[in-house]
Amino acid sequence: MTLKKLEMLRPTIGESVDAYIARGNSRELEYVVEFTPQEGDSLGEYLLRLRLANSLTPQSVQEFLVGFPNDAAVTRSELAQLESGYPEFVNEKRLRILATLYGVPQEWVLQVAQYHVERYTPPIPATDNSFAMLNTRAVPLNSLDPEARQTLQEIFNEIIGAMQVPDSESRDNT
């Protein structure tokens, strides 16, 4: 099984922040389970996962948002701090913009940031992402050829599958 790529929504030249946010809200989004918030997700982990799913660098995110005012634009260093868990640059407008850019419902990102949302989405059960996140940070996947990427994904899925024990099996062993 391979992860689906998110379809990001880039701002158009001269588009206002409010128009961009509204465009992201009105867009028909395919709810992709892999990108639903997970139990225990921190805002930084979730934003990093979404950015990497779009094969974006902090530099490219900054370039896409360069025309927005300071309270809405995100620089590379601010994005790095957001993804590392420093909330100084968090505001609702920036979170809505990042969600729109990354192609996920804005409510999902706001929910992870603990904002009140109208349509609450139950988080999916957490998986042990520690190994995946360390590897994701250590090896830029876009530098690998597609066959190597596919092989790594299959190996990772086998490891996760082997570690997950159905509830009925765990009860039988007790």
- The answer as to whether 38 is a domain residue is yes
Are 38 and 83 members of one domain? Answer: yes
pLDDT at site 97: 92
> What's the structural domain count of the chain?
2
In angstroms, the Cα distances linking 122 to 33, 40, 45, 112, 115 are 11, 12, 17, 11, 14
Are 26 and 89 members of one domain? Answer: yes
Are 36 and 68 members of one domain? Answer: yes
- The answer as to whether 164 is a domain residue is yes
Q: Where are the alpha helices (DSSP H) in 27-145?
A: 43-53, 58-64, 76-83, 92-102, 106-112, 130-138
- The answer as to whether 3 is a domain residue is no
- The answer as to whether 71 is a domain residue is yes
d(CA 67, CA 166): 49
- Nearest by Cα to 160 from 1, 11, 19, 5: 1
CATH number of the structural domain spanning residue 96: 1.10.260.40
Are 26 and 63 members of one domain? Answer: yes
pLDDT at site 148: 78
- The answer as to whether 126 is a domain residue is no
Are 23 and 101 members of one domain? Answer: yes
Query: Among 97, 112, 127, which residue terminates a domain?
Result: 112
pLDDT at site 7: 67
Output the six-digit token pair for 170.
């765990």
| First vs last C-alpha separation in the chain | 32
Residue range(s) defining the domain that contains residue 28: 17-112
- The answer as to whether 159 is a domain residue is yes
pLDDT at site 128: 54
Helix axes 76-83, 43-53, angle to 10 degrees: 120
The secondary structure of residue 2, as a DSSP letter, is: -
- The answer as to whether 107 is a domain residue is yes
| C-alpha dihedral (82, 87, 18, 96), degrees to nearest 10 | 60
pLDDT at site 70: 79
pLDDT at site 30: 61
**Residue numbers of the chain with a pLDDT score lower than 50:** 1-3, 131, 170-171, 174
| Sign, Cα dihedral of 152, 158, 162, 166 | positive
Are 52 and 107 members of one domain? Answer: yes
| C-alpha dihedral (3, 9, 54, 88), degrees to nearest 10 | -120
- The answer as to whether 11 is a domain residue is no
Are 21 and 101 members of one domain? Answer: yes
